[in-house]
């Protein structure tokens, strides 16, 4: 009788919870299905249309980045991204770069004519160093300009590229770091460069947030590297808001 009852039970489709991290490193990024039952078309739509704003676990947020090959970088030049512009306050004499440096100072410097900075103290997260002179700082684009170009910005208008290059609307878009660590990173993505181990969870979160904020894609090697980082950062969450 029990065997007959078991045969009569309908098959139950099990959904993969998007919060579950894989037990071992995977070669393909996690792609969670929708939480409610649906068609493959609905799953594809969820992948291609991430929320316009979210606060989500790193694994889930990573799955929302569209995967694609990087462009050939034809036509790329840093001049295609107008920076640094007059910043958020065009009358204070400080451009975007100086405004970021001032915002991230742990001990505020003195601000002189034409936004000349004297003194101050900063912590460079990439290499875990204290910096005591603004002259030793670079302001890094979390996703480098060349990487952005390869990941979708090549098709943008000049105005949108300028907005990207001077984005102070999110705390993870621009970051003040030591000049040496910024040169070490260069135009590399997480498959080719990572900061000091103490900063890697934050770096992965900030990278994913910036890509989602600007609807930039990721190539397979980049996504694999980010997936490995996500496995090491199970409690990490990504907060972002898309730029229209």
Answer whether residue 100 is part of any domain. Answer: yes
Answer whether residue 34 is part of any domain. Answer: no
pTM: 0.80
d(CA 123, CA 196): 13
Phi, psi of 79 (to 5 degrees): -65, -15
Answer whether residue 57 is part of any domain. Answer: no
Range of the domain at 242: 84-244
Q: At what angle do helices 220-232 and 200-213 cross, to 10 degrees?
A: 130
Q: Over the stretch 108-133, which tens digit does the pLDDT of each residue have?
A: 999 999 999 999 999 999 999 999 99
- Mean pLDDT score, 34-49: 43
Answer whether residue 61 is part of any domain. Answer: no
Phi, psi of 207 (to 5 degrees): -65, -50
**Minimum mean pLDDT among 40-44, 104-108, 141-145, 231-235: which range?**
40-44
Answer whether residue 23 is part of any domain. Answer: no
Joined tokens for residue 179: 């000049």
Q: Which pLDDT belongs to residue 4?
A: 45
Answer whether residue 3 is part of any domain. Answer: no
41 pLDDT higher than 50: no
With cut-offs at 50, 70 and 90, classify the pLDDT of residue 37: very low
Q: How many domains does the chain have?
A: 1
- Mean pLDDT score, 46-67: 89
What H or E segment, with its residue span, contains residue 213?
A: helix 200-213
Answer whether residue 234 is part of any domain. Answer: yes
């Amino acid at each position: 009788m029990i065997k007959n009852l078991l045969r009569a039970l309908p098959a139950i489709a099990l959904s993969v919870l998007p919060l579950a991290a894989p037990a071992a490193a995977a070669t393909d990024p996690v792609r969670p299905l929708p939480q409610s039952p649906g068609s493959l078309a609905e799953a594809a739509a969820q992948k291609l249309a991430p929320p316009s704003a979210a606060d989500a676990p790193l694994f889930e947020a990573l799955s929302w980045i569209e995967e694609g090959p990087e462009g050939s970088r034809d036509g790329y030049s840093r001049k295609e991204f107008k920076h640094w512009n007059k910043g958020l306050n065009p009358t204070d004499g400080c451009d975007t770069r100086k405004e970021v440096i001032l915002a991230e100072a742990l001990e505020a410097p003195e601000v002189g004519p034409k936004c000349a900075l004297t003194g101050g103290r900063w912590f460079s997260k990439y290499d875990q160093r204290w910096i005591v002179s603004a002259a030793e700082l670079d302001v890094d684009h979390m996703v480098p300009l060349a990487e952005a170009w390869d990941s979708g910005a090549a098709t943008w208008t000049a105005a949108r590229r300028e907005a990207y290059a001077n984005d102070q609307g999110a705390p993870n878009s621009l970051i003040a770091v030591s000049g040496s660590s910024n040169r070490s990173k260069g135009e590399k993505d997480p498959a080719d460069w990572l900061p000091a181990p103490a900063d890697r969870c934050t770096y992965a979160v900030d990278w994913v947030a910036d890509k989602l904020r600007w609807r930039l894609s990721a190539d397979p090697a980049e996504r694999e590297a980010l997936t490995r980082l996500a496995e090491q950062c199970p409690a990490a969450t990504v907060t972002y808001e898309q730029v229209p």
